[in-house]
Structure 1
Amino acid sequence: MKAVTWRGFGPARDVLKVEDLATPTAGAGEVLVRVAYSGVNPSDCKARSGARPGVTKPPFEVIVPHSDGAGVIEAVGDGVDPARMGERVWLWNGQWQRPFGTCAECIAVPAEQAVALPDGVSLEDGAVMGIPGLTAAQTVFGSGDVVGQTVLVSGGGGSVGYLAVQLAAWGGATVIATCGARDMARVTAAGATHVFDYASPTLAADILAVCDGVDRAVEVELGPNLPLLTEVMKPLGTIAAYGSAKDMAPEMPFGPMLFKALKLDISLIYILPLAEREAAIARLHGAFADGALKLDAPNVFALEEAAAAHAMVEAGGRTGAVLVKC
């Protein structure tokens, strides 16, 4: 089979190659998926570039990148219902702690990591449901229903934030979002009741002018935004954080957080326990079934263009997922 590989850290254009590898087989409890689309995420680029803290060498001799993807089950191993053959599926954790991910014509994964794709959901959209979709669902619904709550989504124009806005609105919350000027109309159309420029010098006052405080915050930049959050959160509110790239060692304003008894809920979707993951999957599928989840048109690259796909993710500022067509 054809697969994109890398064998050492470096720029995508230098280390990503297309190779012929042996097609894997489905072992016991596994399925073999013919991959249609492989989703590229920032974490894939960080892993390939060697940007992960404390990681000094690749964990495997040969790596096929990417954790997300979608395709069709071609074979099943012992213990897996043969009726699953031919099933359209989306994939999670394809390359998490494993050498071979989804950027190949085929992948063998444990059967639970190949989730039946709901009717009417495209394979392209399925390839986005892993890291962005599950992160959005977990950060919005990680404490349960949000009906009647005020949910603040920072970075509402980003991959996770855009889905979180839609999911929170579908879940019955009043959604306040921050984003850049370019994305304001798009984020409003996604379901945000109020949208503010994240760079506004009066952002805290802007938010508090339209609500009496935030019940739950979905936060992409925890460190820089903690001072703002301590101002706008309600007592007993929850900050559901999934990133802090601009400040990975933030100082915590513990006093203001203490006297509001704020809860900090950090999500790393790769290690989400199965029961919580299944709950997040159910939320995603429910939103799709209700027509409440719409994704931007993806940016699709051929296998031979995987380096360009990585470059697009690293450049930022895009709309739509970045996919490699396998």
Structure 2
Amino acid sequence: MKAVVYREIGDPSVLRLVERDVPEPGPGEVRIRIHASGINPTDLRARSSDMWPMPYPEVTPHHDGGGVIDAVGPGVEAFAPGDRVWVMTAGFGYNTGTAQEFTVVPASWVRPLAEDASFELGASLGVPALTAHWALTVAEGGPRRLAPKALDGCTVLVAGGAGAVGHAAIQLARWSGATVITTVSGPEKAALATAAGAHHVVNYREGDPAAEIRAVAKDGVDVIVEVAVAKNIDLDLAVLKNGGTVAVYADDSPTVELDILRSLQLNARFQFLLLFTSAERMAIAADDVMAAVRDGAMGVGEEHGLPVIRFPLAETAAAQLALQNGAVGKVIVDPTA
């Protein structure tokens, strides 16, 4: 089978296409024929940063994927060959990333993919959707699970609604009954955020974004799903409800300057999130995301607010470079091409 690997930290040129034997699933494992491999910023950091030491002499990248069960190991009863599935955290603790034709992972990392859901959607869930779920369920007194009506009466602000996590947060929050506001940088991204399901879209580069958000949420927003806290901290504090939560999942800067008095007056809660630190949360989130997909609440493609940008497996380096250079949409590698 064909697989993409890297053997040293570096730019996308370190990625190589190699031939490997098809792996066999062991006890509790499944083998998946990958139809779509999703790329996330974490994949780029792992490949390029000395702060993330290589876990193996040869690494196969990408955590997320959509495909079909090809074989099951002893003890696996939840899946059978031919089942359509999506996989999360591939390569985490095992050298089993999805940038290859077949991958073997624990069955607990796999969830069924609805028949009417595309493999591209399956490859777009994983890291973005589970991160979005966590951000939406950390507020004090808020729900720990998402489902229809779970966020009724709640106003959510999604910073960067045209990004992969922002897109998933819009869809999950709307499915759960929240009023969803999002900020974007221009009209093209505004159209995508609207297609994703945001009720209100604010261009943060024009006018008075805080006033626009306060016009929708007079008392402030309950939860902010935050991608760039250092840049957005003043806006966040200007629109946060007393007792509200800022859920921070990304690092636009290594430090943030915080107005402590203003935060005290707001009883503000800042929750920093790193997805891979809680297997229990990931499993719960995966079950809720699976339900949202089954309900038709999740989607990718331009019509759903997240364009899909496809590359064949042999062009994985170009695919990673596209994401690195700011491609708007979900970058997918297709091992079947």
On whether the aligned pair clears a TM of 0.5, the verdict is yes
Offset, 1:265: 2.0
> In the alignment, which of 89, 107, 111 is matched to residue 93 of structure 1?
89
Amino acid at match of 2:318: A
Are 1:164 and 2:191 matched, yes or no? no
Offset, 1:244: 2.2
In 2, Cα distance between the equivalents of 1:58 and 1:189?
Answer: 39
Offset, 1:277: 2.4
In 1, Cα distance between the equivalents of 2:271 and 2:311?
Answer: 35
CA contact (8 A) 1:214 1:237 kept: yes
Offset, 1:138: 2.2
Are 1:176 and 2:187 matched, yes or no? no
CA contact (8 A) 2:88 2:109 kept: yes
SS at match of 1:84: coil
> 1:208-259, CA deviations, whole angstroms, 9 ceiling, x for partnerless residues?
12222111111111122122211211111111111122x1221222221122
In 1, Cα distance between the equivalents of 2:25 and 2:308?
Answer: 30
Are 1:293 and 2:298 matched, yes or no? yes
In 2, Cα distance between the equivalents of 1:269 and 1:88?
Answer: 24
Calculate the aligned-residue CA RMSD, in Å: 1.8
In 2, Cα distance between the equivalents of 1:223 and 1:29?
Answer: 43
In 1, Cα distance between the equivalents of 2:295 and 2:70?
Answer: 29
Matches within 5 A, 1:1-326: 1-12=1-12, 14-50=13-49, 54-55=51-52, 57-81=53-77, 84-142=80-138, 143-144=142-143, 145-181=150-186, 182-200=188-206, 202-212=208-218, 213-245=220-252, 247-274=253-280, 276-296=281-301, 297-319=307-329, 321-326=330-335
CA contact (8 A) 2:72 2:79 kept: no
SS at match of 2:62: coil
Structure-2 change in CA distance of 1:236 and 1:39 (3 Å): same
CA contact (8 A) 1:93 1:113 kept: yes
Unaligned runs of 5+ in 1: none
Offset, 1:267: 2.1
SS at match of 2:46: helix
Equivalent residues, number: 319
Unaligned runs of 5+ in 2: 144-149, 302-306
> 1:50-73, CA deviations, whole angstroms, 9 ceiling, x for partnerless residues?
2x6x34x52311011110111111
In 1, Cα distance between the equivalents of 2:86 and 2:296?
Answer: 18
> 1:191-214, CA deviations, whole angstroms, 9 ceiling, x for partnerless residues?
222211122362222211222211
Structure-2 change in CA distance of 1:89 and 1:17 (3 Å): same
Length-normalised TM-score, structure 2: 0.89
CA contact (8 A) 1:137 1:280 kept: yes
SS at match of 1:125: helix
In 2, Cα distance between the equivalents of 1:235 and 1:58?
Answer: 43
SS at match of 1:115: strand
Amino acid at match of 1:235: N
SS at match of 1:151: strand
